[in-house]
Amino acid sequence: MKKVFLIAALLVAMAPAVAQVLVPIDITPLYRRSFTARYELIGGEPVREAALSPDGSRVGFVRDNDLFVKDLATGAEMRITHDGERNKIINGATDWVYEEEYSFTRAWEWSPDGQSIAFLRFDESRVPEFTMMRYNDGLYPEPYTFKYPKAGEANSAVTLFVYDLGRRTTQLIETAPGPETDIYIPRIGWTPSGKLFFYRVNRLQNHFEVVLGDGRVIYDEMSTTYVERPDEKTVTFLPDGDRFTVRSEAPTGWWATYLYCIEEGFIGVEPSPDDESPDNVERFLENPPDDGREYFHFTLADSTVLHGWMLTPESFDPAGSRRYPVLMTQYSGPGSRSVFVPSIGVGDRAIYEPLLRAGYIIACVDPRGTGGRGEAFKKATYGNLGALETRDQIAAARWLGALPYVDATRIGIYGWSYGGFIALNSILKGADVFAAAVAVAPVTSWRFYDTIYTEIYNGLPTDNPAGYDDNSPINYAGLLRGKLLLAHGTGDDNVHVQNSYEMAKALVAADKKFDMMIYPDDNHSMRPHGSDHVREKIVDWVIANL
């Protein structure tokens, strides 16, 4: 985490025609993407979400959940909102779940002429609170409480406003489509010609609209399952101010870019990028990365083809004179890709390389539900997260176990986060196949995870209880036969340590033996303390238990 923000501190925000710059110093991380910092141009206490006006004469920022503007010539501050309060009202910045799942933190934007500011107000009053303990080497641990909407619970009530800096007036913009007020507003902005726009998504996330400030809907997309979460790349307004592009899977089932006009609607379509087109697998295999991975595929009983790769030890003998243990690695989450990716991450390499030296094969298979193979393949897991992914990993282990050089009695599976969820389900439901599993920061029940991510793929818990419970590894703890390592950070604000604690409780109740590593105050990435430690532990544990 510190490295990320040290890099961020080197970045500057510069207005196009002026010499004013915003350089953040004394950066303090909040969650995955947010932070507070001090700025010389602003002065005083730390602030967040600072940005210069288009002409560089003013700077806007959020302080204590309120939105401010400072005139850089006079030093005068203008306070735009007055009701900001922690764990209640946020003006100009996003709440936890928007930051995590919609990947943005600055919920305010300058108009092109710099005379207005559009901003979101998050009313978190009804959002349930989650409390983590922070140990911090003190005599008594300190509770840290923040708003976290778990699946089915209340979200923030989000409203959109425009502030006129000249008149010092605030206008409420109507965002709700009639009676439906339980909505998301994942982005706001201005077209190059100065029109306010915002994204609108319903609670079930199967209806996405782009709406102008005057209420006109200029793009409308619906799905029988879900519309992929929109981000800043979903819609791009062209410099003429009237045309815009939309990146969408509809109607072909493959990503493509469509051209629209605000006044005339749909105009045309551009081809899909190579890595998102129907033949992307073949394109990848024509020129694979030269990093030692060998690619394979196999066919399931229902004719579905799954793809994977393996890394083999230097002394590998494919003739079958020796049988090797296998550690399967995977993430398996909706729309993710672990097989057809340009490179293997540094963190994963830290696990794979010592195991390869110890004589293990590392294998990876992308199950149904993952990305890069079209909408139908990705959305096959809708409403039933974990079912097909687990079946596919078990099938992959059986396929690998039938190879002449694999020791079928020594196949293990590893995963982090969603991958930890699948690793747990795999060793429980595939107890006759997997001898060991490592689950780091796993989700163990989707009832414990946040609204936006969980409900887009699994619907509401009240509508789909089976989709939540039938695939929760907590409910299958009694099936454990192999070796298991659980690892989690107590400071994980994303996948709470509650997940691993509840899993441990179920395993104890079922009289099952397992190993567990707890990392006090570490987050979902096992930072700031345990990132290297947990990887070393995984390597040592696998060698000792698989």
- Percent of the chain with pLDDT strictly greater than 70: 96
- Looking at residue 1, what is its pLDDT? 41
Region 3-15 average pLDDT? 41
- Write out pLDDT tens, residues 45-83: 999 999 999 999 999 999 999 999 999 999 999 999 999
Whole-angstrom distance, CA of residue 52 vs CA of residue 40: 13
Q: How many residues does the chain have?
A: 546
pLDDT in tens, 244-286: 999 999 999 999 999 999 999 989 887 766 667 888 898 899 9
Task: Summarize pLDDT for 281-323 with one digit per residue, the tens.
Answer: 988 999 999 999 999 999 999 999 999 999 999 989 998 789 9
The HSE-up count of residue 493 (CA atoms within 13 Å, CB side) is 21
Residue 255 lies in a domain: no
Q: What is the mean pLDDT of residues 130-139?
A: 93
pLDDT at 274: 61
Q: Are strands 157-164 and 116-123 parallel, antiparallel or unpaired?
A: antiparallel
Where in the sequence is the domain holding 510, given as residue range(s)?
A: 280-545
pLDDT band at 3 (very low <50, low <70, confident <90, very high): very low
Asked if pLDDT for residue 4 goes beyond 60, the answer is no
Contact 437, 482 (CB under 8 A): yes
Residues 361 and 332: their CA atoms lie apart, in Å, by 19
- Residue 329 within a domain: yes
For residue 512, the domain's CATH number is: 3.40.50.1820
Q: Which of 36, 26, 80, 85 is nearest to 58 (CA)?
A: 80
SS3 308: strand
Determine the pLDDT at residue 407: 97
CA angle 523–134–505, rounded 5-degree value: 75
User: 39 vs 18, 21, 61, 105, CA distance in Å?
Assistant: 17, 9, 10, 18
Does a structural domain hold residue 537?
Answer: yes
User: CB–CB of 100/32 below 8 Å?
Assistant: yes
Domain count, the chain: 1
pLDDT at 99: 98
Residue 379 domain flag: yes
Are the beta carbons of 197 and 212 closer than 8 angstroms? Answer: yes
pLDDT number for residue 19: 56
SS3 202: strand
Q: Is residue 392 part of a domain?
A: yes
Confidence category of residue 21, pLDDT binned at 50, 70, 90 = confident
- At residue 17, the pLDDT reads 44
* pLDDT at residue 426, rounded to an integer: 98
Which tokens belong to 314? Answer: 């230097």
527 lies in some domain: yes
Say whether pLDDT at 544 is over 80. Answer: yes
Is residue 189, in this structure, part of any structural domain at all? Answer: no
Predicted structure pTM score = 0.94
Contacts within 8 Å (CB) and 24+ apart, 297-302: 298/395, 298/396, 298/399, 300/392, 300/395
User: Looking at residues 385-397, what average pLDDT do you find?
Assistant: 98
Of the pLDDT bands very low, low, confident and very high (cuts 50, 70, 90), residue 177 is confident
The mean per-residue pLDDT over the stretch 503-507 comes to 98
- Which regions of 203-317 does DSSP assign to beta strands (E)? 207-212, 217-222, 235-237, 243-248, 256-261, 265-270, 294-299, 305-311
Q: Across all residues in the chain, what is the average pLDDT?
A: 94
Does the pLDDT of residue 100 top 60, yes or no? Answer: yes
Whole-number pLDDT of residue 136:
86
How much is the pLDDT for 13? 42
Q: What are the residues whose beta carbons fall under 8 Å from the beta carbon of 309, sequence distance 6 or more?
A: 293, 294, 295, 296, 339, 363, 364
* Integer Cα distance of 393 and 410 in angstroms: 15
User: Does residue 12 carry a pLDDT above 50?
Assistant: no
- pLDDT confidence tier of residue 181, bands split at 50, 70 and 90: confident
Residue 376 lies in a domain: yes
Token pair for residue 265?
């609607």
- In the chain, pLDDT over 90 holds for what percent of residues? 90
Q: From the CB of residue 517, how many other CB atoms can be counted at a distance below 10 Å? A: 19
Q: CB within 8 A of 422, min separation 6: which ones?
A: 330, 332, 367, 386, 389, 390, 393, 413, 415
Whole-number pLDDT of residue 362? 98
* Tens digits of residue pLDDT in 477-502: 999 999 999 999 999 999 999 999 99
Whether 123 has a pLDDT exceeding 80, the answer reads yes
Give the other-Cβ count within 10 Å of 293's Cβ.
19
